[in-house]
Amino acid sequence: MSAPPARQLVAPGELPRHRHAEPYVALVLAGSYEEAGDNGRRRVREGDVLVHCAWEAHLNRVPGRGARVLNLPVVAGLAPFGRIDDVDMVAGLHERDPVAAALALCNQFCADTSTTSDDWPEILATGLAAPAGGGLGEWAERLGIRPEHLSRRFTRLYGVGPQRFRWEARTRAAWRDVVGTSAALAQIALTHGFADQAHMTRSIHALTGRPPGVWRRSNAFKTAA
C-alpha cells in the first residue's frame, strides 16, 4: 500500500494488520487508539506522533467515536514514538505547505522512549526483531508461558504470529541495508541470519514485490527511511 491520505478518519473497531510501501509520520489530531506494530504497542491520543518507516506493518484498535489523524512526509532521524505540544499549528500549516508542517513537527518533537518492560508480548516483540532473538521454546521457558499460549496471545495482539513477525523484521532490516549501504548482498544475507543470498532474495521479493538487485539499481545507496 502507498502512504495513507493526508487527513484520515480512523473508524471505531479494529483495522487489520497492514503495511505501507512509503514512509510517513502520523500525528493524532483527536481521539485515541491502540497501535500494535513493528516497534511495539502504544495507546496514542491527541498530540502523539508515530513514525512509520517503509514496509513496516501495524494494526489499529480504535474505541469510541474513532480518531482523526494527520499523515505527513517523514523526516529522517525521528524516534518511532513521540509527542508535540502545538497540534493546531502543525495542522494549520499543513493546509498551505505539507513539507513545512513536517519540519515544524520535527522541531517540536519530543521522543517517547518509555517501555512496558513488564508486558511479555512487548518483550517478545523486541526480542523477535533482534538479530539473534532465540527460539520460541526458549522464550516460552524464559517467560514461564506454554509455547502454544505464547503464540496465540502474541498473534491476537499483533495480528501475526511470532515466526512471521520475526521473518518480517529480519527481511525489513536486510532491505534497509540493500538500499542504504554498499555492502555485498551475500554479506547482508549473512548479517541478518538468512541461509544464503538466494534465501534473502526470495524474502525481500515476497515482502516488497521487488528483488534486492532491482532495489539496489533503482535506489543506489540512498538511506532507507
What's the pLDDT tens digit per position in 92-133? Answer: 999 999 999 999 999 999 998 776 556 888 888 888 888 776
The percentage of the chain sitting over the pLDDT mark of 90, rounded to a whole number, equals 72
CATH superfamily of domain region 7-111: Jelly Rolls (2.60.120.10)
Amino acid residing at 76: A
Q: Grid cell 484520515 — which residue? A: 8
Q: CA nearest 24: which of 48, 52, 1, 49? A: 52
When pLDDT is cut at 50, 70 and 90, the band that residue 2 belongs to is low
156 sits in which H/E element: helix 147-158
d(CA 162, CA 202): 20
Computed over every residue of the chain, the mean pLDDT equals: 91
- Numbered ranges of CATH 1.10.10.60 in the chain: 120-218
Helix, strand, coil content of the chain in percent (nearest 5): 45, 25, 35
Domain 120-218 architecture: Orthogonal Bundle (1.10)
d(CA 215, CA 209): 10
d(CA 57, CA 27): 17
- Numbered ranges of CATH 2.60.120.10 in the chain: 7-111
221, pLDDT greater than 80: no
In a 13 Å sphere around the CA of 57, the CA atoms on its Cβ side amount to 19
